[in-house]
Structure 1
């Protein structure tokens, strides 16, 4: 097996682990998926790791969040206010160049709540289609998220006929 293929598999595994941690509401694992200042050689004795702007995140409809403190607070808020979330990732593409990896995917998200107990029906769910770009950096402890950017996919409206194709008589 070639090294780049191994890198791609490792990035895919890191990306999958990130989404699975979100589904479980495991804040500690979500936090460990993100780069820390020490991962990049920033001396934390001189810089507050919560404020060092080494990571960034854009959730659909949110402004850019910069720094571990802001990014991790956003995930804590999302987890605290979401009873149930499940990601079905499609169109996953991984590209690795050196110590940086780019993952693009479509997040098919089901959310709502609460999660059903055994034998119970699932309550009302909301589906959302989101495209995401995740940038990873290689660290001594594995691939870590550097940036996450997600944007909703707008549904096509059948009533809108914005194309210039003439309608047959």
Structure 2
């Protein structure tokens, strides 16, 4: 097996583990999936890890978050306010160049919001289609997330033959 093929498999495994940790609500595992300043050789004794800006994240509809502290707080908030979430990843493509890897995928997400009041049932699950780009860096302990950017996919319009909108040539 060639090294590039092995790298692709390792990145795919790291990406899958990240989404599975989110599904389980395992904050510690989600946190361990992200780069730390030490992973990049930043001396945390002299640099505040929260301000080092080594990681970034954009959730659909959110502003860009920079720094490990902001990114991990966002995941803590999402997990605290979501009872159920499941990701069905499709269109997964992995590209590895040196110590950097890019994963693009479509996140087909099923989720249920905050916990219902006592005695109430969980409301209906909501489906969402999101495209994501996850950037990984190779570290001595494996591939770690460097950046996550996700954007919602707008619903496709039905092709209506009676539509008066001109079709581009």
Alpha-carbon offset, residue 156 of structure 1: 1.9
Aligned 8 A contact 1:84 1:115 in 2? no
Inter-partner Cα distance in structure 2 for 1:69 and 1:168: 47
Instruction: Indicate how the Cα distance of structure 1 residues 5 and 164 shifts in structure 2: closer, same or farther if over 3 A, else same.
Output: farther
Inter-partner Cα distance in structure 2 for 1:167 and 1:145: 42
Inter-partner Cα distance in structure 2 for 1:90 and 1:152: 14
Most deviating of 41-50 and 81-90: 41-50
Counterparts of residues 112-151 of structure 1 (less than 5 Å): 112=112, 123-151=123-151
Inter-partner Cα distance in structure 2 for 1:111 and 1:164: 37
- TM-score (structure 2 length as normaliser): 0.89
Alpha-carbon offset, residue 52 of structure 1: 1.3
Aligned 8 A contact 1:137 1:143 in 2? yes
> Runs ≥4 in structure 1, deviation > 4 angstroms?
113-123, 159-169
Aligned 8 A contact 2:112 2:122 in 1? no
Alpha-carbon offset, residue 150 of structure 1: 0.1
Question: What stretches of structure 2 of length at least 5 have no aligned partner?
Answer: none
Alpha-carbon offset, residue 114 of structure 1: 7.8
Alpha-carbon offset, residue 117 of structure 1: 17
Q: CA RMSD in A?
A: 3.8
Q: Residues 114-163 of structure 1: CA distance to partner in whole angstroms, max 9, x if unpaired? A: 89999999751000000000000000000000000000000023388999
Aligned 8 A contact 1:114 1:123 in 2? no
Aligned residues: 169
Alpha-carbon offset, residue 51 of structure 1: 2.1
Inter-partner Cα distance in structure 1 for 2:49 and 2:164: 53
Secondary structure in 2 matching 1:88:
strand
What does residue 48 of structure 1 align with? 48
Inter-partner Cα distance in structure 2 for 1:168 and 1:4: 42
Aligned 8 A contact 1:131 1:150 in 2? yes
Most deviating of 42-51 and 133-142: 42-51
- TM-score (structure 1 length as normaliser): 0.89
Q: Residues 31-83 of structure 1: CA distance to partner in whole angstroms, max 9, x if unpaired? A: 00000000000000001112210000000000000000000000000000000
